[in-house]
Amino acid sequence: MDDWQQTDQEFDLQPDPRILPMLGEINLPQWKCVAEFVDNSVDAFLAAARENQVPEEPRVDITLPTSDSPTARITALDNGPGMDAATLERAVRAGWSGNDPIGSLGLFGMGFNIATARLGTLTRVWTTRAEDAEWCGLEIDFDRLMRQKHFKTPRLARAKVDPGEHGTEITVLQLKPEQRQWFAQARNRSLVRRELGRIYSTMLGHSATPMRFALAINGDGVLPREHCVWGGPGSPDRTVQTQKYGEIHSYQVVEARMDPRLYCTRCWQWLLAGETKCPTCESDSHVLLRERTVRGWVGLQRYLSDTDFGVDFLRNGRKIELGSKELFEWSDGEVVAPEYPIDDPRHRGRLVGEIHLDHCRVTYMKDRFDRNDPAWQEMIDAVRGPGPLRPDKAAELGFPANTAPLYLLFQAFRRSQPKPVSAGCYKRLLVVKENARAVEMAQEFYKGNPEYVSDLRWWQIVEEQDRALLTDADNSDDGGSPGGFIPDPGGSSGGGGLEGGGEVGESGAGGGDGVSRPEVPGGRPVSRSPIASLTREYIHDATGLRWDVRAFEAVADDPVLSGSSAPWALVSTSLGQHEFIVDDSDGLFLSATLTPLDALLAELAWRTCDVQRGGQDSVTFGGVLSELRKRYGTPNDLDPIDLSARANGILLSVAKSVASCGSDVDCVALYDDLSPTERDEIQRRMATRAVDKPQTVIETGRFLEYASRWTLVRFFERHAGLFFDGLYWDDAYEGIPYDDERVANEARAHVRGKYISLLGDAVWLAEEDPEALRVASRVRLLRAALALDLLDQTVAQPDLE
């Protein structure tokens, strides 16, 4: 049955002309159709660059229809080198690609045909070179091609307006009705602009990789959507010091050179080791030795998001995959386990990056790299390293030390909340506590506002958060009563402001550095320290009123507050801004219900009512204040989800501390001291989490990580000495300075009882159902929240990997 022979007769396999309109059935989104035209232009620019003939200012202009009209059309015009007639003929032929498969975006010769067929039934392509006397063009008319049953189409010509002009113009006419309707909607045109700004951001933005060009839609330039990261281009280098890995940069450069390999440019295929001829075409005339480099960066976003994070993968400067989370997963070959973000209660992340992988295959839709290409696994090893990102899991599985960029970034910044919350913790983690504010500032970054290009505004808030914690620690109640410690959720810098006004790099109403310097009688200037967390634009949506506020911490004899009945004031400036001056050392702010933020929002509510007084749409003070509080008062919220997550983190940190006590502690004896029920509970939890060396966990003191929370509290009660005197908390315990041992024991009992009570509040937050926490009384939540602050306040060492 397998015997056969070849005859002299042939079959004609030329496709029917109906094949072209059928390509339009491929579901290519509209923005990707437009991107195919841009890709063609970029490829022309790249080809010209290789010949040192790239235009001085490469540019692509896209025109999209703005109404659902039968005459609507889509045009893409570039100022590239243009093509001769023969090249034009081949360029529009389905399945043909004359592009360099190494340095071009277009590979399969189908993108142009799919895009034009998806959008309309008639396409005109014009092209000219600087030396040509006229434009050369052709038409692809699907209806006519099907009627005539062949692919031949006449050559067109048109005169040049400028003899030196050059480039290519693609126009899709006779748009399909559904496409006209889609593009007629402004939000859809905005989507095209937004997506093109994302996928070409490296060529439109500061990096200009592998080249720079300008892109406009309907005459307006497309802004690149670059990543809003700490450090990196335009910002100071941000680093944190870790105990295990030393200094870690928030912006990690990736540059990994692989061994060069032979590659067939005709068949687009890598050759195996030892091969010199392509196994497909059996030729060596198109085989070359190709360099392979994984390059780019991974970094830390300035805000948290449940969707907007991840790594972008690029080929020749064009983004193929956006916000991929794949590098944040670990697979043992059977089970894929997410490793990030697993420490955030809302599953928000902020690790981002851009990885250029020019030597890896992509799909014909240009939306995914080929995972079967060996280059993909090489990239994973270069960026995140072998093994899990979690160091304990990597050690358990026997993986060697890892210094890959993403691994180091993960070790320093995996958490979204500091643990513990102590002075300096926000700088160590580079996080803005009020994430909504960080997101708001990021929107200004994406709009191209130059004041938000660098991370300085975020850094000011981070410094202010840490100063507030330092002040709170100085004023904490040594007696241990939760009522003696009131946090400042409003974010005021307290007494820890910038000495003498400091440099903040912000343009303010009173001086170029953002520091307000009014003069008191006699001519002496008074310096005020900026309060970054309160400085912003405040908007009341119902009335549309906007207040551009610069907030400052006042000094004792501030002229604005002298003789005032309130420790704050809101004053207008000649620049149309408002200065909020507040003396937050005033006793009024010792109240648990009033912060500087509350005072500012009340002032704005009163001003809003005053402006609207007598108008047709009257507003009430209570209504305005309620709206402002809902929008800007989140720092004062007692959020059950955040509190529960923070409590869990603190309890886990306490449990881990026993393992760091050193060889002086007999951890096996401590484990044996547990009750049989407690030991059984720990063994079951280790089995559930697939711990393959439980005895090692016991011997190293890590068994408390698998204990229940109340078991941890009971263990603490029996062995409190393992947690004080700098072992976890700084409070004195064994070192209490009393000669009388009876008095010393009473003092130890007082310390122990205080922390048992605080840990009990943490356990309540960690174990209570979220819905039950939502209906808990404000006083109960406030007490538990203050307990977490006190547990964090005297931690001896930050919990850094």
DSSP state of 298: E
pLDDT tier at 600, thresholds 50, 70, 90: very high
Residue 433 placed within a domain: yes
661 and 755, same structural domain?
yes
Instruction: Kindly report, residue by residue over 676-694, the tens digit of the pLDDT.
Output: 999 999 999 988 887 878 8
Residue 230 placed within a domain: no
Instruction: Kindly report, residue by residue over 447-481, the tens digit of the pLDDT.
Output: 999 999 999 999 999 999 998 877 655 555 444 43
DSSP state of 271: P
Instruction: Kindly report, residue by residue over 88-116, the tens digit of the pLDDT.
Output: 888 887 654 444 444 444 433 578 888 99
pLDDT at 468: 83
Place of tokens 């043909």: 96
Instruction: Kindly report, residue by residue over 342-378, the tens digit of the pLDDT.
Output: 888 889 999 999 999 988 888 877 889 999 888 899 9
Residue 4 placed within a domain: no
Cα 660 to Cα 132: distance, rounded to the nearest angstrom:
77
The CATH number of whichever domain residue 275 belongs to comes to: 3.30.230
The total of other beta-carbon atoms located within 10 Å of residue 122's CB is: 17
Mean pLDDT estimate for the chain: 84
Residue type, 451: E
Q: What is the SS3 assignment for 38?
A: helix
% of the chain residues with pLDDT over 70 = 86
pLDDT at 266: 67
Residue 477 placed within a domain: yes
pLDDT tier at 411, thresholds 50, 70, 90: very high
Whether 764 shows a pLDDT value over 80: the answer reads yes
209 and 187, same structural domain?
yes
530 and 652, same structural domain?
no
pLDDT at 299: 97
Residue 324 placed within a domain: yes
Q: State the alpha helices, DSSP H only, in 333-455.
A: 374-383, 391-396, 405-413, 425-429, 435-446
Residue 231 placed within a domain: no
Chosen domain end from 610, 636, 662: 636
Chosen domain end from 221, 254, 282: 221
pLDDT at 27: 86
Residue 741 placed within a domain: yes
Which helix H or strand E contains 195, and what residues bound it? helix 186-199
78 and 145, same structural domain?
yes
Sign (positive/negative) of CA torsion 631, 636, 637, 643? positive
Chain centroid to CA 304: 6
Q: Are 52 and 138 in contact (CB under 8 A)?
A: no
Whether 494 shows a pLDDT value over 90: the answer reads no
Instruction: Kindly report, residue by residue over 210-266, the tens digit of the pLDDT.
Output: 889 999 999 999 999 999 999 988 889 999 998 889 999 999 999 999 888 787 766
pLDDT at 198: 96
Whether 488 shows a pLDDT value over 70: the answer reads no
The total of other beta-carbon atoms located within 10 Å of residue 757's CB is: 14
537 and 454, same structural domain?
yes
Pairing of strands 74-78, 59-63: antiparallel
Instruction: Kindly report, residue by residue over 36-56, the tens digit of the pLDDT.
Output: 999 999 988 988 888 888 788
Residue 125 placed within a domain: yes
pLDDT tier at 81, thresholds 50, 70, 90: very high
Q: Is the pTM of this model over 0.85?
A: no
Whether a cis peptide bond, with omega within 30° of 0, leads into 210 is yes
Q: How many domains does the chain have?
A: 4
pLDDT at 349: 96
Whether 202 shows a pLDDT value over 90: the answer reads yes
Domain of 193 in residue numbering reads as: 19-221
Instruction: Kindly report, residue by residue over 548-590, the tens digit of the pLDDT.
Output: 999 999 876 788 887 778 899 999 887 778 999 999 888 888 8
753 and 677, same structural domain?
yes
